[in-house]
Structure 1
Amino acid sequence: MPGRIERYDDVPVTKEDLDWAELVTLDLSLYDQPGGKETLVKNLEHAVQHVGFFYVKNFNISQEEINSQFALGREFYGLPLDEKLKYHNADDLARGEYNGYRPAGHRILANGIRDNVQVYNIPKFDGYHQRAQPPVLSEHIAEIEAFSRKCHTEVVEKLLCLFAILLELPDEEQLVRDHQYDINGEDHLRYMHYAARDSKENEKVGNLYTPGHTDLGTVTLLFRQPVAALQILNSEGNWKWVKPQDGTITINTCDALTALTGGFIKSSIHRVRAPPQDQAHVDRLGVLYFARPNNHVVLDPIENSPLLNRLGRTENAFTEIGQHLTTEQWVKVRQTQQQRRNRDGKISTDGKVSYAQKDLEIIPGLQAKVYN
C-alpha cells in the first residue's frame, strides 16, 4: 500500500496591487456541446497570435487530484539532498537528457549568482522512458501516471483539436495523431521548486529567478499555484504578472507549435520574477505538464493548412537555415544548450540580461533568445 501523504494546503495569495495580464479563459465544458468548439476557437485565436498565454477551466481533473501532485512534489523536495542526488546525472544533462533531478545551483544564472531552481521531471508513461523513481514517488506511481494521462487526454488533446480547427485542417484529429501519448515522445510531468532568496541576492540578478524565454514544445500546462512570480511579455512589449485564477490551468504555447505553424501561433515569452514583498519569503512549488509532438514528427510548417498557405506561412526558423529537425533532434539540441553549466551572463539592476553568443548557440545558424 502507498504511504500516506499529508494534505497539501496552498499558501495565501498576495495582497499587493500588481499589474496583472488580461488573459482569456477557455471553458472546456463547451467542448462537446453543439457549436462549442467553434466558440472556443474564436476565443483562442487572438490569444495564440498575440500573447501565447490563456487559461482553461472545467478540464475534468479534480482539485483533489491536483493537490495530491503538489503534495508529492513537496514530499520529494523535502528529502535530504543526498537522497535526491541519487536521481541526478550531470553528464546526462550535458547531453540533453533532462529527465530525473536537477539540483539548484547547477547553473550560474548571472553575475556569479547560481540559480535557485530544483527540477524533477517524470517522463510520460509510453514504455520508452523506464527510470527508477525515489520511493516517495514510486509508491504513488499509478496515481502519477493517471494524472499524467489525464493532462494529455483532458487538456492537451482538446487543445490540439482546437488548433486544428483554427488552422482549417481537413481532419481535426491531425495534430492529435502527431501527439499520441503511447508513441515515443518527450512529454513529461514536472515538480519545480524555487527557493526564496534574500533581497540582496535578488538585487544582484535584477530580481529574476528565470530570465525571459520560450518553452520548446507544443503547450505547457501550469497548474494554479498562488506564489505570484510568473510574468509574460505582452504584444505591447510590457511585462505583466500572471494571476493565479481559481479552478484554472495556465496554458502557454511553445516553440514546436510555432515551427509547425510557420510562426502563426506565437511561442509565449515569459519569465519568473522574485515574488512580491508579502510572498518574498515563501518557496514556490509548481506542478507542470509539458506536451511535445512525438519524436518522429518533422517540425516543418504544416503543408495542408489552407490558412497557413493563404498567409504564406511556409517557412520557419529551422527551414530558413536548411534544417528539417524532428522533435527528438530539436529537444536534444535545445536541452543541451539550456543545460550548459558555464554560462556567466550579466543582469543589470533593471533586469536586462545578456549572455555570450557561444552560450546561446543551439545549432550553427540558430541562437536561443533571452528576452528583456
Structure 2
Amino acid sequence: MLDTALVEVPPLSLADAAADSDGFAAALGGSFERFGFAVISDHGIPADLVAQGWAQTKLLFELSEAEKRAYFTREGGGQRGYTPFKTEIAKGASQVDLKEFWHVGRDLTPGHPLSDRMPGNLWPSEVPGFEPVFRQLYAAFEAAGNRILASIARHLGLAPDYFEAVVEDGNSILRLLHYPPIPADAEGVRAGAHEDINLITLLLGAEEAGLELLDKDGRWLPIKPPEGALVVNVGDMLQRLTNNVLPSTTHRVVNPPPERRGVSRYSMPFFLHPNPDFLIETLPGCVSAANPNRYPVPITAHDYLHERLVEIGLVKK
C-alpha cells in the first residue's frame, strides 16, 4: 500500500490543453477522479493582477470592524459584501470557522431577469482601488474556469462547449478570505471539514500551509501547489451532475503551527456556479449498471444553493 505521506496531487499545466486537448483532459479527469482536486499552472490569470488583488485584499481587511460591518447584509445570505469573523460553519460542525470574508459576484445589467436571485455588488469606498481590480480578477477567473470546464467536458465524453450554456450568467462568486492570527488555545479551526457547493472551485493562495483534503484511505493529505498555481476542486453540483464519477472531496484549513499563529492567512477562491435556472440532472453517460443513478430527482442550481446556504448558517430557514 502506498504511504499517503508520499502521495501528492500531480501538477498540471493548462498550456498543455492547447497542444494536446485530449491528453490534458485525461490527466485532469484522472486527477479529479483520484483526488477530487487538481493543481494547475499556466492558467492565464495575470500575475500582476493577482498581486494587485492581494494588496487590495489586505487593505480591505485592515479596515475597522465598524467599517467592514457596514457592508454586511445578513438577509442576503452573505452572497455579496462582507461576512464577519466566526459567522460561517461547516455542514454538521459544532464550531464556527475562524475566518472573515468578502464576496464579489456577477454584475448584471439593470432589469436583468436574474436580478431577483443575484444581488448587486457592494464596493468598499474606503479602498478606492478595490472595485476595478476585482472586476478584472472576476473576469480572469471566469475565463480560466471556462477553459477547465471545457477539458472536463472532454473527459466526460461531452462536446467541449457543453458547459458554456450551463455557466452563462452563472451565479459565480469570488471570495476574499482572511484567516486572522489566532491564539494557541483557539477553539475550532480556520475552516472545518466541508465540501464546496458549486461546479468547480479555483483557488489562489494555497501556498501558505493549511489546506488539506481527505484522501480515500481516510487520512488527511496536505495540498502543496507551486507558487502562483491554481488549486481546483470538484464541487457538489458537479459531483451530482456526474453521478459521483467526479467526487466532491472533503477538505479543511487547519490551524498553523505555533510559529505561524501570529500571521494572517489570505486566500482567493472562485466558486464557479451554473445559471440559477440550470437543472442539475444526472448525465446519462455517467449512469451504468455498476453506477446506478444516485440522484433520480433533479433540482435547480438556485434551489440547491439555497439548501446548502441554510446548512452552513449563511441563510436562516
TM-score, normalised relative to structure 1: 0.75
One of 287, 298, 302 as aligned partner of 1:324: 298
- CA drift at 1:164: 1.0
In structure 2, how many angstroms separate the alpha carbons of the residues matched to 1:161 and 1:246?
24
Of 195, 198, 204, the residue aligned with 2:183 is: 198
Q: 1:30 is matched by which residue type in structure 2?
A: D
Letter in 2 for 1:40: F
What is the Cα deviation at residue 234 of structure 1?
Answer: 1.0
Q: Which residue of 2 aligns with 1:132?
A: 122
CA distance in 1 between counterparts of 2:89 and 2:231 reads 28
- Which aligned pairs between 1:57-136 and structure 2 lie closer than 5 A? 57-93=41-77, 98-106=79-87, 115-127=97-109, 128=115, 129-136=119-126
- C-alpha separation between the residues in 1 aligned to 2:122 and 2:315? 25
Does the aligned pair in 2 maintain the 1:49–1:264 contact within 8 Å?
A: yes
Residue from 22, 34, 40 that aligns with 1:50:
34
Distance 1:42 1:340 in 2: 37
Unaligned 5+ residue runs, structure 2?
A: 110-114
Identity %: 19
Q: Deviations over 1:161-220 (max 9, x none)?
A: 111111112x2101122112xx2x32011110111211122xx43xx2222110000111
For 2:160, the equivalent position in structure 1 comes to 172
- Contact kept, 8 Å, 1:260 with 1:299, in 2: the verdict is yes
1:50 is displaced (CA, Å) by: 2.2
Indicate the residue corresponding to 2:199 in structure 1: 218
Taking the aligned partners of 1:111 and 1:212, their CA distance within structure 2 comes to 8
Matched residues, number: 305
The answer as to whether partners of 1:229 and 1:275 remain within 8 angstroms in 2 is yes
1:87 aligned counterpart, secondary structure: coil
**Structure 1 vs Structure 2 CA RMSD:** 2.6
Would the aligned equivalents of 1:227 and 1:275 in 2 still touch at CA under 8 Å? no
Question: Does the C-alpha gap of structure 1 residues 292 and 233 become closer, same or farther in structure 2, counting only changes over 3 Å?
Answer: same
1:314-365 Cα offsets, whole Å, 9 max, x none, are: 6234x3xxx42111111111112211699xxxxxxxxxxxxxxxxxxx9xxx
1:26 aligns with 2:12: yes
Verify the 8 A CA contact 1:190 1:288 in the aligned structure 2.
yes
Equivalent position of 2:236 in the other structure? 255
Residues 213 and 252 in structure 2, CA contact (< 8 A), matched pair in contact too: yes
Contact 1:52 1:267 (C-alpha < 8 Å) held by counterparts: yes
Task: Name the CA distance, whole Å, in 2 between partners of 1:112 and 1:310.
Answer: 38
Looking at structure 2, the residues matched to 79 and 37 of structure 1 have their Cα atoms a distance apart, in angstroms, of 45
- List runs of 5+ in structure 1 lacking aligned partners: 1-17, 343-361, 363-372
Mapped contact 2:204–2:228 kept (Cα < 8 A): no
Counterpart AA for 2:85: A
Letter aligned with residue 327 of structure 1:
A
Higher-Rg structure is 1
Distance 1:211 1:112 in 2: 9
| 1:114, distance to aligned residue in structure 2 (A) | 5.1
Name the counterpart of 1:14. Answer: none
1:302 aligns with 2:288: no
* Matches of 1:124 and 1:137, distance apart in 2: 20
The amino acid that maps onto 2:28 is L
Would you say the 8 A contact 1:219–1:291 is kept in 2? yes
SS state at 1:339 partner: coil
Query: Any conservation in 2 of the 1:20–1:240 contact (CA below 8 Å)?
Result: no
Q: CA deviation at 1:107?
A: 5.4
